[in-house]
Amino acid sequence: MTPNMKTQRSASAHPSPAPALRGVLACAMALLLAAGGCKKSDTNPAAEAPAQSDVTETGNSDVVHIERAARFPLVQSESRQVLSTLQVTGSVNPDVSREIPVLSLANGRVVALHVGLGDFVHKGQLVMEVQSPDVTTAFDAYLKAVNDEHLTQVTLTRDKLLFSKGAIPQTQLDAAQTGEDDARTDLTATEQQLRIYGVDRNHPGDTVRIYAPASGVIIAQNVTNAAAAGITYAGSTGSLTIADLSHVWVICDVYENDLANVKLGQHADITINSFPGKTFSGTISDIGAQLDPSLRTAKVRIQVANPNSELRIGMFATATLLGSHPQTETAVPAGAVLQLHDRAYVFVPGNGEGNFRRVEVRLGQTLPGNMVEIKAGLSPGQQVVGNALDLQNTADQG
């Protein structure tokens, strides 16, 4: 074998390294590209998102965590001396002691009715006329009494003359005097009967004129034109009822559990829906002795002055009963109270920096200085967030 043949055989047994190197480089490039693609696809999108809110909800729904809590300054609840109050509802009613029935003592038929339900009448005003046979009977008795009295007077005058002459005894004169006295008594009685009926004895007629016995508003009407009137026909309730509404009653229902806080003579502030912002003053004049068995409430009567007749019968009223002795209660600024779903809350500092706890409270009355009474849920000296609404809005946005 020649040297050239050895060289060719050796070359075929050990090929050139160039093709193998190119393959290795190609694989390395592919691995590098693949690695670069995988790293790009693993980028966290959250790293590029905007920063999250600074409100963090804790496990308790009534506790929130606020970053930069200094934005919500704290205020301290105070102790205030306030009068206890009790709010009850009721309605305006006439004062029964100021109700006056309009009666016709003569029985008969109404021939003229000059007023109606709801009218205001003055004392002495003609309200109705009643045609009555009782008037005829009374006037007949009056005329007979006049005649009898005249006869007995003539007899007495004659007997006095005869007695002075000694013609008759003393007993006969005494009998004549007794007859005159009886006749005059009967005459006086018949005159009084005509006055009761409202009949002028000098100008008699068959009609009785009925006048208003007092000034006021007609709150009840039991007759109409051509209707029956009088004690026997219409009953003792009267044909009309006049009420003096310069004073009225506000009758309220007070629950059994609250009766211990109600006293006779206690002051009450009355508010009416028809007069927003206006308060009427009253005094408790009666506390019902019997409870409603189903509602467990007692009727409490409040006497209220009504000089301008603004309070009308049947109006809905709210009475605030004021206690006589002040009590120490907790008070906070009105802005510290959050009204949410018919409930009231305040925010108090929680455990840890920036934590606030929402606490439910029971409100009382509004106090001077834009303060609110807290009846339960908070003690004097506790710190609360001064603006509860801003804190709640911040928590809701988070």
Model pLDDT, residue 42: 44
Model pLDDT, residue 236: 52
CA atoms of 218 and 99, how far apart (whole Å): 9
In the predicted structure, residue 364 carries a pLDDT above the cut 90: no
Q: How many CB atoms lie within 10 A of CB 340?
A: 13
CA atoms of 148 and 156, how far apart (whole Å): 12
Among candidates 327, 323, 325, 307, which has minimal Cα distance to 265? 323
Pairing between β-strand 383-385 and β-strand 74-76 as defined by DSSP bridges: antiparallel
pLDDT, mean over the chain: 81
Model pLDDT, residue 85: 78
Residue intervals in the chain for CATH 1.10.287: 133-205
**CATH class held by domain 63-82+327-397:** mainly beta
pLDDT tens, position by position, 168-222: 999 999 999 999 999 999 999 999 988 888 888 887 777 888 899 999 999 988 8
CA atoms of 328 and 338, how far apart (whole Å): 23
Contact assessment for residue 140 and residue 193, using Cβ atoms and an 8 Å cutoff:
no
Model pLDDT, residue 349: 86
In the predicted structure, residue 21 carries a pLDDT above the cut 50: no
Tokens linked to 238:
């009267």
Model pLDDT, residue 22: 52
In the predicted structure, residue 147 carries a pLDDT above the cut 90: yes
Contact assessment for residue 192 and residue 101, using Cβ atoms and an 8 Å cutoff:
no
pLDDT tens, position by position, 280-320: 999 999 999 999 999 899 999 999 999 888 999 999 999 99
In the predicted structure, residue 164 carries a pLDDT above the cut 90: yes
Contact assessment for residue 217 and residue 156, using Cβ atoms and an 8 Å cutoff:
no
HSE-up of residue 51 (Cα within 13 Å, Cβ side)? 3
CA atoms of 61 and 66, how far apart (whole Å): 14
In the predicted structure, residue 156 carries a pLDDT above the cut 50: yes
Q: Where are the alpha helices (DSSP H) in 198-230?
A: none
Q: Where are the alpha helices (DSSP H) in 115-132?
A: none
Taking CA atoms, 370 is separated from 262, 332, 362, 398, in Å, by 28, 9, 17, 30
Name the pLDDT band for 233 (thresholds 50, 70, 90): low
Place of tokens 């208003």: 212
Q: Which CATH number fits domain 98-131+206-244: 3.90.76.10, 1.10.10.60, 3.40.50.300, 2.40.50.100?
A: 2.40.50.100
Q: How many CB atoms lie within 10 A of CB 73?
A: 10
Model pLDDT, residue 232: 61
Residue intervals in the chain for CATH 2.40.30.170: 87-96+245-326
Model pLDDT, residue 7: 40
Q: What is the pTM of this model?
A: 0.58
**CATH class held by domain 133-205:** mainly alpha
Q: What's the whole-number mean pLDDT along residues 271-284?
A: 91
Residue intervals in the chain for CATH 2.40.50.100: 98-131+206-244
Q: Residue 379 contacts by C-beta under 8 Å, 6 or more apart in sequence? A: 77, 330
Contact assessment for residue 241 and residue 102, using Cβ atoms and an 8 Å cutoff:
yes
DSSP 12-72: HHS--SHHHHHHHHHHHHHHHHHHHHHHHHT--HHHHSPPPPSEEE-SSTTEEEESSGGGS
pLDDT tens, position by position, 26-64: 444 544 444 444 444 444 444 443 333 343 433 345 787
In the predicted structure, residue 10 carries a pLDDT above the cut 70: no
Q: What architecture is domain 87-96+245-326?
A: Beta Barrel (2.40)
Window from 48-52, 73-77, 192-196, 273-277 with minimum mean pLDDT:
48-52
The single-letter DSSP state of residue 235 is -
Among candidates 363, 281, 356, which has minimal Cα distance to 317? 281
Backbone φ/ψ region at 314: left (φ over 0), alpha (ψ -120 to 50), beta = left
Taking CA atoms, 375 is separated from 258, 268, 370, 378, 389, in Å, by 16, 20, 16, 8, 20
Angle between helix axes 170-197 and 133-164 (nearest 10 degrees) is: 160
Model pLDDT, residue 170: 93
Contact assessment for residue 130 and residue 105, using Cβ atoms and an 8 Å cutoff:
no
Contact assessment for residue 198 and residue 210, using Cβ atoms and an 8 Å cutoff:
yes
Q: What's the whole-number mean pLDDT along residues 251-275?
A: 91
